[in-house]
Chains A and B, each alone.
Chain A
Amino acid sequence: MTPVFSLAAFGELLDQRSGVYNLGIEGIMSVGAAMSVVGAFIGLNSWGSLLLGTISAFPFGLLLGVLSERYKLNQLVVGFGLWLSGLGLAGSIYTVLLAPHRIIIQKLEPILFDLDPIFYLSIALVLFLMFFFSRTKLGLIITAVGQNPRVADSAGISVERVRIICVTIGSGLMGLAGAYLAIDILQGFTYGIVAGYGWIAFALVIFGRWKPTYVFLGSLLFVGITGIATRLQILGLATIPSNFVVVLPHVGVLVVLTLAMKFARDAGVPGSLGQPYVK
Chain B
Amino acid sequence: MKSIETQLQSAAVVIGLVLGLFILSVAGVSLAMNLQMSEVFVHLFQSTIGSAFGILSVLRRTTYLLIVSIGLAIAFRSGVWNVGGEGQIIWGGLMTAAICLTLNLPIPIIILLSIVASFLAGGLWGEIAGFLKARWNVNEIVSTMMLNFVATASMIEVAGGPLRDPTVLIAQTRAISTKLQFPAIAFPLNVTFVIAIALIPIVYLLMEKSVIGYKMRIVGGSSTVADAAGISTGRIVLLAMFLSGGICALAGSLLVFGNFYRADASITGLFGFYAIVSTLLGKSKPQLMLPTSMLLAFIITGAESLRTLGVPGTFTQAAVGMLFIIVVLQELATRRIK
Contact = CB atoms under 8 A, between A and B. Distances in A.
Interface of A: 23, 27, 67, 71-74, 76-78, 80-92, 94-96, 191, 196, 199, 202-203, 206, 241, 243-244, 246-247, 250-251, 253-254, 257-258, 261-262, 265-266
23 contacts: A71-B332, A77-B331, A78-B324, A80-B324, A81-B327, A84-B317, A84-B318, A84-B320, A85-B317, A85-B324, A87-B318, A87-B321, A90-B314, A91-B312, A196-B145, A241-B157, A244-B154, A247-B149, A251-B146, A261-B136, A261-B138, A262-B136, A265-B137
Given A77-B280, A96-B33, A206-B139, A85 B322 contact: yes
A78 B328 contact: yes
Given A27-B321, A241-B157, A261-B136, 20 more contacts: A71-B332, A76-B141, A77-B327, A82-B321, A84-B320, A84-B321, A85-B321, A88-B314, A88-B316, A89-B318, A91-B318, A94-B312, A94-B314, A191-B314, A243-B157, A247-B153, A254-B138, A257-B138, A258-B132, A261-B132
Q: Interface size for chain B: under 10, 10 to 19, 20 to 34, or 35 or more residues?
A: 35 or more
A261 B135 CA distance: 10
Contacts of A247: 149-150, 152-153
Contacts of A81: 321-325, 327-328
Nearest to A265: B137
B314 A244 contact: no
B318 A85 contact: yes
B67 interface: no
Contacts of B335: 72
Interface string B269-305: 0000100100010000000000000000000000000
A261 B132 CA distance: 9
B103 interface: no
A95 B314 contact: yes
B314 A87 contact: yes
Contacts of A191: 314
Q: Counting chain A CB atoms within 10 Å of each CB, which of B81, B147, B276, B314 scores highest? A: B314
B240 to A, nearest CB: 16
Contacts of A78: 324, 328
Given A85-B321, A253-B142, A257-B143, A246 B153 contact: yes
A interface majority secondary structure: helix
Contacts of B321: 27, 81-89
B interface majority secondary structure: helix
A91 B317 contact: yes
Given A96-B312, A251-B150, A76 B81 contact: yes
B33 A243 contact: no
Given A96-B312, A250-B149, A265-B136, A202 B324 contact: no
B324 A243 contact: no
B183 interface: no
B49 to A, nearest CB: 23
Given A78-B324, A86-B321, A91-B312, A257 B139 contact: yes
A86 B32 CA distance: 17
B127 to A, nearest CB: 14
B236 interface: no
B148 to A, nearest CB: 8
